[in-house]
Amino acid sequence: MGSEHGIEIYRREVPGSGIVALKGTGTIDAPLWKIASILLDTKRAPEWVDSLKESRVLHRLGLNRYVEYNHIGGPLVMKDRDFVSDVAIEVDARAKTFALIYKPTDDPDVPASRHVRGEIISGVFRATSLGKDAPTELTAELHCDPRGALPKWVVNLFQKNWPRNTLEAIRTQAAKPDIAMPDQFKDVLAPTRQF
């Protein structure tokens, strides 16, 4: 779709879905461990995720997998949405990459509520170190259906700025001096300090 603020923005039609998939790629002036820490710190996620009211880890399913709950506030004319995702963590020391890969799941600890249960059909955050003490390249991809009675064209209109807004918000977050590895994920994040 073009480039804005040093962020390349893509959109892709998905067969069988009226909702387009979006992707943004740009560099962030921070080491990879810091970007990975931002992405995994659910307590601070409302600082950079647009309209996020709550984010929390429901269960750690292993070293590299967990279930995440997110509650997004809607404008006055639209009901809030919530999402439950199975998230895989991939750390590749040889490629100097860190990734979070989202897919939808259900969890008995968060049954359907007064919010509309949306679905992150697929989502990926992939950070690649450009060298020790160098910027990090971040790619963010999302194919998300907020469900409910919203027409698909309205969903596409609301989501079209997601890649730029997300990467710019992570850039702002990365500039904060108090970013630290979240205690819950220090075990999986520790190796990323070497990239």
96-122 residue pLDDT tens:
999 999 999 999 999 888 899 999 999
Q: What is the pLDDT of residue 31?
A: 96
Q: What is the pLDDT of residue 122?
A: 97
Q: What is the pLDDT of residue 90?
A: 98
pTM (global) more than 0.85:
yes
Closest CA to 141 of 118, 117, 159: 159
Which residues are CB-contacts of 148 (< 8 A; sequence separation ≥ 6)? 78, 79, 81, 116, 118
Weakly modelled stretches of the chain, pLDDT under 50: none
* 28-151+172-194 topology per CATH: Alpha-D-Glucose-1,6-Bisphosphate; Chain A, domain 4 (3.30.530)
Closest CA to 35 of 174, 175, 134, 182: 174
Rg of the Cα trace of the chain?
16
SS3 132: coil
**Extents of the domains making up the chain:** 28-151+172-194
Helix-strand-coil split of the chain, %, nearest 5: 25, 40, 35
Q: What is the pLDDT of residue 113?
A: 84
Q: What is the rounded distance in angstroms from the CA atom of residue 13 to the CA atom of residue 6? A: 23
CB-based contact 40:49 (threshold 8 Å):
no
